[in-house]
Amino acid sequence: MDKNQGVVGFQVKLFEDLVLVWHGDGPAPRQVIHRGRTFHRFMDIFFVSHLELDELSLEEVVALCRARESYSSSIGQANESVKGLFRRAVAKVTPERVVEIGAGARPLYDGRGESFDYIALDADMEAMSKLSSRKESFCARNGELDLPAASVDIVVAVFVFQFRIYDIQIKEISRILKRDGILLVNVYRRSEESRARLASDLESSGLHVQRVNDPQELCCDHEYWVASKSQTSVCEFRDVLCSQF
């Protein structure tokens, strides 16, 4: 049998009944077959049901992110580098209100020391249980936020847009953003078709999108996306972002 595809029941453990975690000796293979189902490797030690992360169910995404938190040695330098870049770029535009999607247990801000109003959002409220900032649930089932229309300067997400972002969420992002407000996210692990679909969904909600290749190539096919209702604001913020690389 191909060494990248093994039946390895005793070398993996099921996490929350949805995600497999590698406990074998040596590096994990690319795929494993567990109880007759094929799982695909994500990062070093996790296995999920689809190669394309935007095809995972929300339940599987939540289990994967919780597994990643439980094995926190799996959280790498790329995560901190993206956060540092986003913090520097956001600081340049002195926003009044910043909303973070998928803040999880490691948000960009703590909601105390900032000069702006900060709201952390996640599909998984449990992931944010230790956060002291204002927080709200935001997912396919709960896509309406307790925020007025056109009241947010920056919506930001770090390592979230590789997963599926639901139509209701995209419409809500567009609703809460000010006319010159900015959506700032990083994107990786999506196929070109999946990126084109995401860009088209954002554009259908009235957002202009600019994709910027990561010059540092922090991970494979890694891009930064800037979107806004205002074409001018997209270009201006893209320049701010690029000045912080």
Ligand X SMILES: C[S@@+](CC[C@H](N)C(=O)[O-])C[C@H]1O[C@@H](n2cnc3c(N)ncnc32)[C@H](O)[C@@H]1O
- Strands of 152-157's sheet, edge to edge? 134-137, 117-122, 97-101, 152-157, 177-187, 223-228, 208-213
Could you say which residues in the range 181-240 bind ligand X, by CB under 6 A? none
Q: Which of 8, 53, 62, 154 forms a contact with ligand X (CB under 6 A)?
A: 62
CA 135 vs CA 9, 30, 100, 142, 219: distances in Å:
39, 36, 9, 13, 29
Q: Is 123 in the site for ligand X (CB under 6 A)?
A: yes
Q: Which stretch binds ligand X (CB under 6 A): 6-14, 146-154, 155-163, 221-229?
A: 155-163
Q: Which of 20, 32, 63, 65 forms a contact with ligand X (CB under 6 A)?
A: 65
- Cα(81)–Cα(79) distance, integer angstroms: 5
DSSP three-state, residue 59? helix
Could you say which residues in the range 169-188 bind ligand X, by CB under 6 A? 169
Task: Give helix 231-243 / helix 77-92 axis angle, nearest 10°.
Answer: 120
Binding pattern for the stretch 81-120 against ligand X, x by CB under 6 A and - elsewhere: --------------------xxxx-x--------------
Footprint on this chain of ligand X (rule: CB under 6 A): 61-62, 65, 79, 101-104, 106, 122-124, 127, 138-139, 158-160, 163-166, 169
